[in-house]
Chains A and B, each alone.
Chain A
Amino acid sequence: MSRAEPARAPGARPFALLGSELATLFRRRRTIAMLGALALVPILIAIAVRVTSAGSSGRGPAFLSDITQNGLFVGFTALTVSIPLFLPLTIGVVAGDTIAGEASLGTLRYLLVAPAGRLRLLGVKYLGAAVFAIAASAVIVVVGIGIGALLFPIGPVTLLSGDTIGAGDFALRALLMIGYVSMSLLGFAAIGTFISTLTTVPVGAMAATVVLAAASQIMDALPQLSAVHPWLFTHDWFAFGDLLRNPISWDSYAQNAVLQLGYIVVFGSLAIGRFTTTDVLS
């Protein structure tokens, strides 16, 4: 009787929507501009250090003084500089836009009528934000290593523990660093996605998300609030130094993973509860 089969059609790919989401996200000029801006961070740092040669004063962000000895440290310096503001800002834009952006365009109703499935759409949207977080961290580190190699001498890297590692081991540490920083941002992305389900004004969701990242960092800086510090999603954002010791200490990695997972579960559940029951009237 029906010409369109209700069961899953042969040839239907369940991950087609994720592919479409990623293609849409990364072809968008706004996304490219944000990644470009993040790429500028290591470039500016490298140029500034090269021009002034003031890297050895012992002040400034972590690894800054190491750059003149080994250009490979530019990526790590840039990551340290970007964590408090630039990374949360760009990820807040992407995560805050997930649902609210579709709602404001009106495309949300067409995705749901397709039917995308509310749970599936939410999952795909969150995964898109997570992939952006990985891409953002990777761009900073990779561009940093590239520009560092271009402007400074490179060689075996001396770790915080005093050991020296070669190129292969360094590449592994760089990957672990990208993994750590992007994982640190997953809980934050879940918060942003939840806020995005609350409104049809994407700018509002973006701003609220970014403000939360700032508020969490401020709270983390107040000693009077030390009781809540371990529970703040920003608390372990800078604890990646352990990855530059030999042997690698996995404690902070594991602790942060549990913390982020907790945020993903809580805010993911809130987002699911909200998005699967709310009326789509935009």
Chain B
Amino acid sequence: MTTDAAIETSGLTKIFGRQRAVDDLDLTVPRGSVFGFLGPNGSGKTTTIRMLLGLAGASSGEIRMLGAPMPGALRSVLPRVGALVEGPAIYPFLSGRANLLRLDAADLHAPSATRRARVDAALDRVGLSHAAQKKAHAYSLGMKQRLGIANALLRPRDLLILDEPSNGLDPQGTREVRSLIRSLAAEGTTVFVSSHLLSEIEQLCSHVAVMSAGRLVAHGTLEELRRGEVRVTVRTPDAANAARVLTELNLPLDEPASGDTAGSGDSVSAVLVDGVLPETVTAALVAAGVRVRGLSVAGETLEERFVALTGEGFDVAG
């Protein structure tokens, strides 16, 4: 288990003054996974990422990244890690290309001979080749974001840590980033991605962790996290009949919307209890002569689960 993890933290804690920004975090990111790191604003995601990358020291706890202790093995680990932390940062007076050349030169282990070729390849990969010679202060938010992602891709990486990679991107850009992450993951790179876009995480990630107020509140595969109640919804003009059939199958009916009595609308929904298959429900409905217009089975969305874990409120955790 230990050697298999791309990132492993135990008891990781960061205290700012009297606030525990990250509190006793035990996180395991399996190698080869696309790992979604979720949490409301101020929940400690970025602080965690800063500690992983050695930018901030942990108050207590341990970090192992790619099998080596951090920040002890920082010099040998970080060249294998590409990162986008809290948005891109640019030298506005340099061209996009010169920005990458400079950041690549900062890597003591990056071979100079291939520098230009690698920079051009990274620019090409994020679709910035045409703007490579342009001064970066003229870049749009999305172009800066692409430049930041290109920086993470300057060398072949074993691990990518991407903080809000889709921030500021147009829908095309978001799709491109999604397919980029998929192709990197297919090449065997572990991708650790934090995002507020739950639909993105849902489409991309194999594993998910959720933070709230500095603590880890959920941690596991996407399936494990989403495994809550699965419900079946029947659209039918014979709602009352359908409700009776579902009750006979021992499926707990949902409370009808206010003002309706059970079965008076044109749809009925119920929790699909373990062991009852959707096709059993369909067969029972048809056998009872219910005119079925549609039947859908849906698990809890990640958003519903996220809100259930981290609370409804709009207040930023302070």
Contacts and interface: CB of A to CB of B under 8 A. Distances in A.
A121 B102 CA distance: 12
Interface residues of B, number: 47
Given A28-B93, A114-B78, A281 B56 contact: yes
Interface string A100-124: 0000011111111111110011000
Q: Among A2, A13, A19, A121, which residue has the most Cβ atoms of chain B within 10 A?
A: A2
Interface in B26-74: 50, 53-57, 66, 74
B76 interface: yes
B80 A4 contact: yes
A7 interface: yes
B298 interface: no
Given A5-B109, A20-B106, A112-B54, A105 B91 contact: yes
A16 B79 contact: no
Interface in A1-54: 2-14, 16-17, 19-20, 24, 27-29
Contacts of B109: 4-9, 12
B89 A110 contact: yes
B80 A20 contact: no
A251 interface: no
B168 interface: no
A151 B102 CA distance: 43
Interface stretch (B120-128, B151-159, B259-267, B284-292): B151-159
B110 A12 contact: yes
A24 B79 contact: no
A11 B107 CA distance: 12
Contacts of A113: 53-55, 78, 81, 83, 85
Interface in B68-105: 74-81, 83, 85-94, 98, 101-105
B157 A105 contact: no
A111 B107 CA distance: 8
Given A11-B111, A14-B108, A109-B89, A114 B103 contact: yes
A175 interface: no
Contacts of A114: 78-79, 103-104, 106-107, 110
Contacts of A110: 83, 85, 89, 103, 106, 151
Contacts of A14: 108
A8 B85 contact: no
Contacts of B88: 106
7 contacts: A6-B109, A105-B92, A106-B88, A109-B89, A110-B151, A115-B107, A281-B55
Which 9 residue pairs are nearest across A and B when measured between Cβ atoms? A106-B89, A6-B76, A11-B111, A114-B106, A279-B56, A116-B106, A20-B105, A115-B78, A16-B105
Given A105-B90, A109-B85, A280-B55, 4 more contacts: A105-B92, A111-B106, A112-B54, A279-B50
